[in-house]
Amino acid sequence: MMIYSMKELLLLSAAAIAMDWIVGDPKWPTHPVIWIGRLIRLLERKLAPERFKERPAAVRGLGVVLTLVTLVASCGTMWLLVWAADAIHTWLGYAVSAWFISTTLAVKGLKEAALLVYQPLVSGNLEEARKYVGYIVGRDTAELDEREASRAAIETVAENTVDALVSPLLFALIGGAPLAMLYRAANTLDSMVGYRNEKYKYFGWCSARTDDVLNYIPARLTGVMLTLSTLFDRRMKAKQAWLAIRTFAHLHPSPNSGIPESAVAGALGIELGGMNSYFGVTSERARMGWPTRPLEPNDIVLSVRLLYSVSFILFAGVIAVWFVVN
């Protein structure tokens, strides 16, 4: 059985961060998340939970099956790929591991997605900005004004600082590419079926709870690192970031997402949260932060800087630990 040492996992994780900074999400071959998404849709069709819509317990059971099969298939396939590469040559195993860990990260991809919203906003093309907001959020975008489009992008960057950076990297440090891919599968399940609507209320319950559990510790570590990241920019406020976490994070419907969102709101001196519309139904999301000034498109850029600062902290921390244990 192929097992990497702590020193090897540290170097592989550092290499993965650097790869993500430089390459970002691969366009070819097909991104692993796309394959995971296809598996989820295939399993959903095969399990056909709508057959048991009058039996919530049965639908929940099918949701458990969906979650377990997806996680085992994703982790197992990744383990086999790394094992096969390592069997050919140790350095090929390292390369495959680092590459696939990098595909579970999305620092560069998040930056690019956020800037696709920012650039048309500053050029006055609100319609195009709405289009790109629709690529990264599930809420209705047709009526968004400049502030709301900016808020959507900032909230996405903040929340995904956990989902697309800290969580997968921590799992990679524990179990390499297989465990990082297991986390990415859990996160993909949550994004596809983890809704509290009529269709997925029961079927997606296990997927949503699994994602909550896996993100619990990483989200809280992210809050600390976001607070530290404010020290790199005089315009940001560390004290307000930390106080915002303690004051507002628990108001968010997610046990984890409120931490990075409130930290970013406090750091930038803006307010996040508010009215969102999903499929024509408007709901009030907890408001986080103390708005010392109006939220504006440039705050998208500042949120991306916080994201990159967290990635720098992680990279430096991984390298520092490697030197200590080496």
Q: What is the pTM of this model?
A: 0.95
- Return the pLDDT at 195: 87
Residue 292 in 3-state DSSP? coil
Provide DSSP, 50-91: GGGTT-HHHHHHHHHHHHHHHHHHHHHHHHHHHHHHHHH-HH
The answer to whether residue 1 is domain-embedded is no
pLDDT (average), residues 184-204:
93
pLDDT (average), residues 175-200:
95
- Return the pLDDT at 99: 97
pLDDT (average), residues 152-179:
98
Provide DSSP, 208-236: HHHHHHHHHHHHHHHHHHHHHHGGG-TTS
- Alpha helices in the chain, H assignment, sequence order: 6-22, 32-47, 56-88, 90-104, 107-122, 126-136, 146-161, 167-193, 205-229, 238-248, 258-268, 298-325
What burial class does residue 202 get, using C-beta atoms within 10 Å of its C-beta: 0-12 exposed, 13-18 middle, 19+ buried? buried
The answer to whether residue 271 is domain-embedded is yes
CA gap 117, 306 in Å, rounded: 17
CA gap 44, 188 in Å, rounded: 14
Of the two residues 205 and 143, the one the predictor is more confident about is 205
**Strand 272-278 to strand 281-288: parallel, antiparallel, or no bridges (unpaired)?**
antiparallel
- Return the pLDDT at 140: 85
Full residue range of the structural domain in which residue 94 is found: 6-325
- Return the pLDDT at 70: 98
| Segment 99-155, tens digit of pLDDT | 999 999 999 999 999 999 999 999 999 999 999 999 999 888 888 999 999 999 999
Which stretch of 35-49, 264-278, 279-293 has the lowest confidence by average pLDDT?
Answer: 279-293
Residue 278 in 3-state DSSP? strand
Please state, in angstroms and as integers, the Cα–Cα distance from residue 266 to each residue in 166, 244, 246, 258, 296, following that order: 20, 5, 11, 12, 15
The answer to whether residue 200 is domain-embedded is yes
pLDDT (average), residues 53-61:
92
Structural domains counted in the chain: 1
Residue 1 pLDDT > 60, yes or no? no
pLDDT (average), residues 58-62:
95
Residue 313 pLDDT > 90, yes or no? yes
| Segment 289-309, tens digit of pLDDT | 999 999 999 999 999 999 999
Q: Work out the mean pLDDT of the chain and round it to a whole number.
A: 95
The answer to whether residue 53 is domain-embedded is yes
Closest residue by Cα to residue 273 from 191, 158, 152, 164: 152
Residue 281 pLDDT > 90, yes or no? no
The answer to whether residue 81 is domain-embedded is yes
